[in-house]
Structure 1
Amino acid sequence: MDDQLSIERGCCAKSAGTCAKLEVYDWLDDVVNKSGDDDIIEVRFKNTRKDYYKNVNNLKLKSGDIIAVEASPGHDIGLVTLTGALVKHQMKKHKVTMINGELRKVYRKAKSVDIDKWREAMSLEHQTMIESRKIAADLRLNMKIGDVEYQGDRTKAIFYYIADERVDFRQLIRVLADTFRIRIEMKQIGARQEAGRIGGIGPCGRELCCATWIGNFVSVTTNAARYQEISLNPQKLAGQCGKLKCCLNFEVDAYIDAQRDFPPSNIPLESEEGRFYFQKADVFNRTLYYTSNSSSVSGPVAVSVERAKEIIRLNKRGKKVEKVADRIVEVKTTQNKGFEDVIPQESLTRFDEPKPRHRKKKKRFTKNKSSRPPRNKK
C-alpha cells in the first residue's frame, strides 16, 4: 500500500491539487460492459500528461495498476486511471489523435525492477532541472525551464519551458544530450500551465483553480472586468501567473445576459434640471447611476433601467423630462477619526483588569402556607 501511494505521488506534480485534476470518476464502473470496449485504457503520468493505450495482451487491469507501456523509444511507466466504455468518451472529449491510425500498446504490469528504475529516474528530475537552467543561462537563451520529466526507462526526458519569444534551442539540445546522455524533448508551456504545476493559494483563500480542476485554459480579457463593473487595477486583476485571473470568466456570462436590455452608457439623459451622465450600474438590481456633471462623483441619481430607456426615447423626440428620478443617493465620505475601540469585549487588556467579585445570595425557600395542616385551637 505504501508503494502504491508513493507511485501516485510520483505521477502527480509537487502540488497537492494537480492529482485531483487528473482523477476521473468512472460512473460506469458498476455497469456490465458487453460492447467489448475494454481494449483501450487511460494512463496517467507525471504532471498533466495523460495518454491512451491499447491492451493487446488482454491483461486484467483496473484503476490504480502500475503498467509498462510503449514509448518512442523504449517503454514508459504510468498509472491506470480509467478502463471500460468511458475511455472512448474521454478520447472524444480530449480530441485524441492516433499515430498512423493505431494506439500504442500496453506491454505488461510493471515489475519491481521497472518501478525501482523509474523511482531512480524521478529522483534525478530536480537536479536535472537546476543544471539545465544553468546551461540555458550560459547560452544566453531567453527562456525558463520549469520542469523535467524522465521516461520510465530513463532513456528520454521531457523539458518543459516558458518563453515569451521564439527560441532557437538547437544548441541547447546538443549540450543537454551530451551532459545527461539521454534523448531530449522540448515542450513549451504557458504561464498558466506553470502556475498549475507549482500550485499555491489565491487571494480568495482557496487553492488555485488551475492546480485543482481547470484543464483547458480559456483566454481572459479586460472586457470580462468591464462587464462586471470591476475596477481595472492590474495588481488586483492579475493572478500568481502574472496573467488575468481565470475566475474573471466564471460569472461574466450572467452579467452579459443581465445587461442585454440596458441602454447605452454613452447617451446622456436630458431633463429640465440639466444633462445627466452615466457613472456606474448595479447590474442585478437593474439600477443605473447618473450625475449632473460628467466629472462629478458626488450626488448620483439612481434611475431604473426602464426609466432610463423611457427618457432616452423621449429625448430622441426632442422632449425633456421634468425630473430624471425621484430618489437621490447620497454618497457618504468617511473621515479618518483615529482608532476607536468599537468592540470593548475584544480589548487586548481585558484580561489585565480585575474582575469584580459578586457574592452569591442564598435563596430562601419558604414553604407554602396553604400546604400546612390547620392548627387545633384550644
Structure 2
Amino acid sequence: MVEIIGVGFMKANKTYYFDPAGVSYELGELVIVETARGMELGHISIANCEIDESELVAPLKGVERKATKEDIQRYKDNLAKRDGAMKVCEEKILQHKLDMKLVDAEFTIDGTKVIFYFSADGRIDFRGLVKDLASQFKMRIELRQIGVRDEAKMLGGIGICGRPLCCSKWLNDFQPVSIKMAKQQNLSLNPSKISGTCGRLMCCLNFENKTYQELRKGMPNEGERIETPDGIAKVVNVDLFNGKVTARLIVEDKETGEDTLGPDYNIYFKKEIKRIDKKHHHKKNDDLGDLDEETLKEIKELTRD
C-alpha cells in the first residue's frame, strides 16, 4: 500500500496523485505542486489515504509546499494579467499571419513561464511568434496546440440539453464515441442533432451505450423478419425500454401470389418472437449506405479526432 493525496486544478476535472511525504493535508487546502506545465496552484481533493501500488501509473511526485498568502496573491495577479497576455498574443498572431485560434493563456505560479493554448486544423510553424512573445514578456513561452474537444472543455458552455458541458464540469477523460452508438440508440443521424458545441459527436452518446447494448440483446431491428405466434412478420417499430416489438404479418396477395404486409399492427413481447437471419440484419443496421453523400461527409467530420 502507498500513501497518497489527490490534487485537483482549476482548469482540470481530473484528480492527480501526489506523495504527501508524511505531511497531513485537509480537503480543500491549497498546495503548490510541480506538473508538466510547471509550478501550479492546486487544491486537495483527496485527503491522506492509502491505495494499492498497482493503481499508480507513474512514480509519485512530492508536494512543493502548502500555498502561502503570497502564492494565492500571485495566482490572482496572474489571472489579472491573462487578458492582457491574450491580447498581445492575438496581435502577434495577426502580424505573423498564422492560421490558428488562441484559446487561453496561463502563467505558472512562479512567474517563469506563460503558456498559450491554441487550436488549428494542421501543424503551425510558430517559431517566429515564440521569439516575439519571449521578447515581449521576458520569460519562457510555451505554445500548446489542443483539439476542439479540449477547447470546449477549457472554455465551457451550455449543451443542447440546457446544462453546462459535461467535459467542462465533471468529465475527467474523453472516451471514444462512434456513430454506431447513435444508431444503436435510434437517434437521428442528422449531424446537427448528434454533435456537441465542439463539432464532434456528443460525449453523452457513450454514457448510456452499455444500457442500450443490454436492452438490444435478443431484440430485432426495424425492417427485420421475425417469427411470431401468428406467423412470419416484418418489424416496423422496436420499443427497447418495454421489450416490445410492433410488426405487420407477411401475407400472400391473393391476386398476384406475392408476399405483402397485412393491414394490422401487432405488438409482441421479446419472449414471444424469434429472429430470422440475425447476422444479415445486424449488418444492415450498422450500414450507413442509406445516407446521402453530404451527410456522410459531415458524419465523417464528427468522428475525426
Pair in the same fold by TM > 0.5? yes
Out of 149, 153, 156, which is 2:110 matched to?
153
d(CA) in 2 for partners of 1:74, 1:249: 33
The 8 Å contact of residues 287 and 302 in structure 1, kept in 2 or not, is answered as: no
Computing the radius of gyration over CA atoms, which structure comes out larger, 1 or 2? 1
Secondary structure at the counterpart of residue 200 of structure 1: coil
Out of 50, 69, 92, which is 1:112 matched to?
69
1:204 aligns with 2:168: no
Corresponding residue number in structure 1 for 2:274: 309
Greater strand share, 1 or 2? 2
d(CA) in 1 for partners of 2:263, 2:124: 56
TM-score, structure 1 normalization: 0.58
Corresponding residue number in structure 1 for 2:287: none
The 8 Å contact of residues 263 and 308 in structure 1, kept in 2 or not, is answered as: no
Supply the AA of the counterpart residue of 2:61: L
d(CA) in 2 for partners of 1:245, 1:72: 29
Supply the AA of the counterpart residue of 2:49: A
- Counterparts in 2 of 1:123 and 1:303: CA distance versus 1, 3 Å: same
Deviations 1:221-259 (A, max 9, x none): 211111111111111111222222112122221221122
d(CA) in 1 for partners of 2:82, 2:179: 38
Deviations 1:78-114 (A, max 9, x none): 333333125x56x966x5423xxx62442x3333333
Corresponding residue number in structure 1 for 2:193: 236
Unmatched runs of 5 consecutive residues or more in structure 1: 1-34, 314-378
The 8 Å contact of residues 163 and 188 in structure 1, kept in 2 or not, is answered as: yes
Unmatched runs of 5 consecutive residues or more in structure 2: 251-259, 278-305
d(CA) in 2 for partners of 1:50, 1:171: 36
Secondary structure at the counterpart of residue 238 of structure 2: strand
The 8 Å contact of residues 229 and 280 in structure 1, kept in 2 or not, is answered as: no
Out of 113, 135, 154, which is 2:92 matched to?
135
Supply the AA of the counterpart residue of 2:25: L
Corresponding residue number in structure 2 for 1:171: 128
The 8 Å contact of residues 20 and 48 in structure 2, kept in 1 or not, is answered as: no
- Counterparts in 2 of 1:178 and 1:292: CA distance versus 1, 3 Å: farther
Corresponding residue number in structure 2 for 1:67: 31
Supply the AA of the counterpart residue of 2:218: D
Secondary structure at the counterpart of residue 84 of structure 1: strand
> Which residues in structure 2 correspond to 1:165-314 (within 5 Å)?
165-263=122-220, 267-268=224-225, 278-290=235-247, 301-302=265-266, 304=268, 305=270, 309=274, 312=276
The percentage of counterpart residues that share the same residue type is: 32
Corresponding residue number in structure 1 for 2:61: 103
Secondary structure at the counterpart of residue 67 of structure 1: strand
How many residues are aligned here?
265
Secondary structure at the counterpart of residue 179 of structure 1: helix
TM-score, structure 2 normalization: 0.70
> Which residues in structure 2 correspond to 1:362-373 (within 5 Å)?
none
Superposition deviation, residue 215 in structure 1: 0.9
Deviating more after overlay: 221-230 vs 259-268 = 259-268
- Counterparts in 2 of 1:301 and 1:130: CA distance versus 1, 3 Å: farther
Deviating more after overlay: 111-120 vs 142-151 = 111-120
d(CA) in 1 for partners of 2:98, 2:54: 38
Secondary structure at the counterpart of residue 196 of structure 1: helix
Supply the AA of the counterpart residue of 1:97: A
Supply the AA of the counterpart residue of 1:63: L
d(CA) in 1 for partners of 2:37, 2:186: 54
Superposition deviation, residue 36 in structure 1: 8.1
Superposition deviation, residue 183 in structure 1: 1.0
d(CA) in 2 for partners of 1:199, 1:236: 19
d(CA) in 2 for partners of 1:222, 1:75: 40
The 8 Å contact of residues 135 and 172 in structure 1, kept in 2 or not, is answered as: yes
Deviations 1:291-322 (A, max 9, x none): 699xx9x9673453455526x48xxxxxxxxx
d(CA) in 2 for partners of 1:283, 1:251: 13
The 8 Å contact of residues 37 and 108 in structure 2, kept in 1 or not, is answered as: no
- Counterparts in 2 of 1:300 and 1:123: CA distance versus 1, 3 Å: farther
Supply the AA of the counterpart residue of 1:286: G
- Counterparts in 2 of 1:96 and 1:131: CA distance versus 1, 3 Å: farther
Deviations 1:307-340 (A, max 9, x none): 5526x48xxxxxxxxxxxxxxxxxxxxxxxxxxx
Superposition deviation, residue 156 in structure 1: 0.7
Q: CA RMSD in A?
A: 3.8
1:78 aligns with 2:35: no
- Counterparts in 2 of 1:301 and 1:154: CA distance versus 1, 3 Å: same
Secondary structure at the counterpart of residue 274 of structure 2: helix
Superposition deviation, residue 177 in structure 1: 1.5
Superposition deviation, residue 268 in structure 1: 4.4
